């Protein structure tokens, strides 16, 4: 009788942990939407900043590097720390850094202040992504692929909207008008505080850790796990170096090759990023059904035919090809992240921080190196080189099928 009584709370906690909390997943997706809308204003402002401050492509790359590195270096540490000591209000604290960065950016009129401003936004991102990803995992009810995809689709929708808002507000009216977007940061903080209340009342969802580790055990040898993580990092390199060429330099490519206006180039960038947002949700649910390895394979290697054609296409076909590239490539990250979390069970926050951090880091390093390459050669040559990056997706064939190993 005593056993039955003591087991009832544990059984109730397990049952609650198996339920998907869609309201929290949608709230997280919405905050991701606001967060990434604000972040995407930075690359959308590059043509304006390049003209007003007389920057080189190398300096433009350094702006991206500063933002991405401030985000990437802290994310694994945030994830590791909060795995041990959950911090329910960390999301709101992170968004406060983003708010401060936006205000500084609106008043920045030299290269150093621009770097400081984007660094503050990067710190906000470093706190937001691993913590929000952990909360999505908590609220998933076991549907981890679906939860991460729903979370990611908000972020990618925000990334697509940022350039369009920049074209409508910042490009015609000037850099100072970035300050109006601080309203979105304040709204995100309000929503995050409500998410934090749910977090505080649902800590039982993260307590049955040993049971979760045993359920997710794949019985792979340690060397195979390390090799698989190395392959996943190579795929992150491929995806985010190519994404860096699109998010940071696509507008410059269109202006240089097709002589479109700055505002028109922002619209084309919006089309690409909207395709990225639309394709994001596909990977998670399909990965839950057929296995994440196959989603990763298709989403990286499947881009290759389109990326190889892009440097040789006219304006219309460039726009069309960019849509296919965005749709296919965008489904990769959710599948890679959940695959890695299944590869290393019990370390959700650390793995989320590590892979979000690497994604930001690779994008930052890629932007800096590609900017240097553009200065040394031409912006068109950058796209000829990057066209071959999706072929790294062939390495996916060496990943184990975790679904069969469990």
What is the per-residue pLDDT for 18?
58
- Percent pLDDT > 70 in the chain is 90
Does residue 300 or residue 216 have the better pLDDT? 300
Q: Which residue has the higher pLDDT, 254 or 69?
A: 254
Give the pLDDT score at 213: 47
Nearest to 242 by CA among 392, 53, 17, 400: 392
Query: Residue 214: its pLDDT value, please?
Result: 45
Cα distance between residue 43 and residue 46, in whole Å: 5
- Condensed to tens digits (0 to 9), the pLDDT of residues 27-46 reads 999 999 999 999 988 888 88
- Cα–Cα distance for residue pair 155/184, rounded to 1 Å: 14
Higher-pLDDT residue of 250 and 277 is: 250
Among the listed residues 130, 123, 133, 333, the one whose alpha carbon sits nearest the alpha carbon of residue 237 = 333
List pLDDT tens digits, range 362-400.
887 888 899 899 999 999 999 999 999 999 999 998 998
CA distances from 389 to 130, 202, 240, 360 (A): 27, 42, 10, 17
Q: Could you report the per-residue pLDDT of 92-142, keeping only the tens digit for each?
A: 999 999 999 999 999 988 999 999 999 999 999 889 988 888 888 888 887
> pTM of the predicted model, to two decimals?
0.71
Read off the pLDDT band of 215 (50, 70, 90): very low
Number of neighbours of residue 298 by Cβ within 10 angstroms: 19
Q: 3-class DSSP state for residue 45?
A: coil
Section 77-104 average pLDDT: 87
Ranked by mean pLDDT, the top range of 39-53, 65-79, 89-103, 331-345 is 89-103
pLDDT in tens, 166-201: 888 888 888 889 999 999 999 999 999 999 999 888
Spatial separation of the C-alpha atoms in residues 325 and 302, rounded to whole Å: 9
pLDDT on residue 5: 45
Predicted pLDDT of residue 212: 46
Structural domains for the chain: 22-405 (1.20.1250.20)
Which residue, among 376, 302, 303, 287, has the nearest Cα to 337 in the 3D structure?
Answer: 287
Segment 203-229 shows an average pLDDT of: 66
Q: What is the pLDDT of residue 382?
A: 95
Mean pLDDT score of the chain, rounded to an integer? 84
């Amino acid at each position: 009788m005593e056993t039955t009584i003591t087991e009832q709370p544990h059984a109730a906690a397990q049952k609650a942990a198996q339920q998907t909390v869609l309201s929290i997943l949608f709230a997280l997706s919405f905050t991701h939407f606001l967060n990434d809308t604000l972040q995407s204003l930075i690359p959308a402002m590059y043509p304006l900043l390049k003209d007003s401050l007389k920057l080189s492509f190398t300096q433009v790359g350094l702006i991206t590097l500063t933002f991405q590195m401030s985000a990437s270096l802290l994310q694994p540490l945030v994830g590791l720390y909060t795995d041990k000591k959950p911090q329910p209000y960390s999301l709101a604290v992170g968004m406060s850094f983003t708010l401060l960065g936006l205000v500084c950016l609106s008043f920045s009129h030299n290269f150093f202040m621009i770097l400081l401003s984007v660094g503050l936004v990067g710190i906000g991102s470093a706190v937001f992504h691993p913590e929000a990803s952990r909360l999505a995992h908590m609220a998933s009810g076991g549907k981890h692929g679906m939860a991460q995809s729903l979370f990611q689709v908000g972020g990618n929708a925000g990334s697509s909207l940022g350039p369009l808002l920049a074209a409508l507000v910042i490009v015609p009216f000037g850099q100072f008008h970035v300050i109006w977007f601080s309203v979105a940061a304040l709204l995100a903080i309000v929503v995050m505080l409500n998410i934090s209340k749910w977090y505080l009342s649902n800590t039982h969802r993260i307590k049955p850790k040993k049971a979760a580790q045993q359920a997710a055990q794949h019985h792979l040898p340690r060397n195979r796990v390390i090799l698989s993580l190395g392959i996943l990092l190579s795929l992150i390199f491929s995806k985010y170096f190519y994404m860096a060429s699109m998010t940071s330099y696509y507008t410059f490519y269109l202006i240089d090759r097709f002589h479109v206006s700055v505002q028109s180039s922002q619209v084309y960038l919006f089309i690409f990023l909207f395709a990225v947002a639309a394709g994001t949700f596909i990977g998670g649910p399909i990965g839950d059904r057929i296995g994440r390895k196959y989603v990763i394979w298709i989403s990286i290697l499947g881009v290759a035919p389109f990326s190889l054609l892009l440097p040789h296409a006219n304006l219309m076909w460039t726009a069309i090809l960019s849509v296919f590239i965005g749709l296919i490539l965008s489904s990769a990250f959710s599948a890679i992240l959940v695959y890695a979390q299944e590869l290393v069970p019990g370390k959700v926050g650390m793995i989320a921080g590590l892979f979000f951090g690497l994604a930001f880091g690779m994008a930052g390093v890629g932007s800096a190196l590609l900017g240097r390459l553009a200065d040394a050669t031409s912006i068109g040559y950058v796209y000829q080189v990057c066209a071959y990056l999706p072929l790294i997706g062939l390495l996916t064939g060496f990943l184990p099928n975790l679904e069969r190993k469990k």
